[in-house]
Amino acid sequence: MVDRMVLNEKSYFGKGAIEQIPEEFKAKGFKKAAVVTDKGLIKFEVATRVMKLLENAGIDYALYDGIVPNPTVENVKDGVAFVKEQEVDCLIAVGGGSPIDTAKAIGIIATNPEFEDVVSLEGTAETKNPCLPILAVPTTSGTAAEVTINYVITDEANHRKFVCVDPHDIPIVAFVDSDMMMGMPKNLAAATGMDAMTHAIEGYITKGAWEMTDMLHIKAIEIIGRTLRDSVNGDQKAREEMALAQYIAGMGFSNVGLGLVHGMAHPLSAWYDVPHGVACASLLPTIMKYNKEYTGEKYRDIARALKIDGVEDMTIEQARDAACDAIDRLSHDVGIPTTISELGVKKEDLPAIAKDAMKDACTPGNPRDTNEDDVVALYESLM
């Protein structure tokens, strides 16, 4: 078996990392950028920090701030039209997963116009050309979109999210600046942080996991376990550590895939417009318990990374339970909803949602093979 690792070419970390954007832009010979973001990040003067840097450096740019949570096919098409009209030669994506994911889709179609319908990008589309170059500036500590080859788009017409996996879409430079994340309210810091924990845990136990990704995921679990609570409470140092942890997890799962948490979370976002991080966080503790007997010693490793006392002396069953309980407590401590009915999910929709979950690209990576009846039962247990 041959394992593959795809990473972006350069990243900057720490407070003030965005100060490097003008230098990178000019060094690469770009002429005009499209700043891809959302109106909220303009309103709260987060994305405008990047725009001011560009203006002070005399860099020409056009603003596309039409990104919505759970970005749609139409969102992408509008962005493609915008970058063509503005004749830009690179994208600067500022935001959480939604702006960066949308920038990836826009960038791919800009250089591979045969995929202009957007939906044909689902899965592992055989694009021929690297996307329009992307400089990525994350503003949340969760998605790791700045370092992954994945992106997710919502097909509103069919009530579904679809996952795209393409090495051609990875941003060429990432600027992981904790100052850009200080504006997150508590609930967003909690949801995106638990999304990062989901990436790390699912990436660690997925069927495709191997030694190099294992070391990344375990380190991410360790950092998130010790810093997420403080990050939610606004601690600057903790937010900086969370920014690093979510990036480390992204380096791993981008190359080996995820599992049933994401497979079941994507339909919740598509059907009810639930924020992705909230959907994942609500599902994680329950799906961990569902998978625990199919993970070998890996839950003991997770328990060890979470600094659980006495883990070495536990039976494997005790260690697995300890890991599940620790994630349950963390989720509770940061205020994640404990039921999906709180997210607006309707019981009568569950059979149809379960069908979508079974079709999701993430589901086959789950360590425990599943079926539609099990997925319905898992959703019902969370009502």
pLDDT in tens, the chain (383 residues): 799 999 989 999 999 999 999 999 999 999 999 999 999 999 999 999 999 999 999 999 999 999 998 899 999 999 999 999 999 999 999 999 899 999 999 999 999 999 999 999 999 999 999 999 999 999 998 889 999 999 999 998 888 889 999 999 999 999 999 999 998 999 999 999 999 999 999 999 999 999 999 999 999 999 999 999 999 999 999 999 999 999 999 999 999 999 999 999 999 999 998 988 899 999 999 999 999 999 999 999 999 999 999 999 999 999 999 999 999 999 999 999 989 999 999 999 999 999 999 999 999 999 999 999 999 999 999 99
In a 13 Å sphere around the CA of 30, the CA atoms on its Cβ side amount to 27
Work out the number of other CB atoms within 10 angstroms of the CB of residue 293.
Answer: 13
CA distances from 7 to 138, 166, 219 (A): 16, 12, 17
Question: 21 near 135, Cβ under 8 Å?
Answer: yes
DSSP annotation of 72:
B
Q: Which residues contact residue 215 at a Cβ distance below 8 angstroms, ignoring those fewer than 6 apart? A: none
Note the pLDDT of residue 158.
87
Note the pLDDT of residue 277.
87
Map out the domains of the chain with their CATH numbers.
Answer: 10-181 (3.40.50.1970), 186-381 (1.20.1090.10)
Q: How far apart are CA 342 and CA 80, in angstroms?
A: 36
* Encoded amino acid at 120, one letter: S
Note the pLDDT of residue 157.
87
Note the pLDDT of residue 20.
98
Note the pLDDT of residue 194.
95
pTM assigned to the model = 0.95
Q: Which residues contact residue 188 at a Cβ distance below 8 angstroms, ignoring those fewer than 6 apart? A: 140, 277
Note the pLDDT of residue 257.
95
Q: How far apart are CA 15 and CA 28, in angstroms?
A: 23
Note the pLDDT of residue 339.
92
Q: How far apart are CA 290 and CA 260, in angstroms?
A: 10
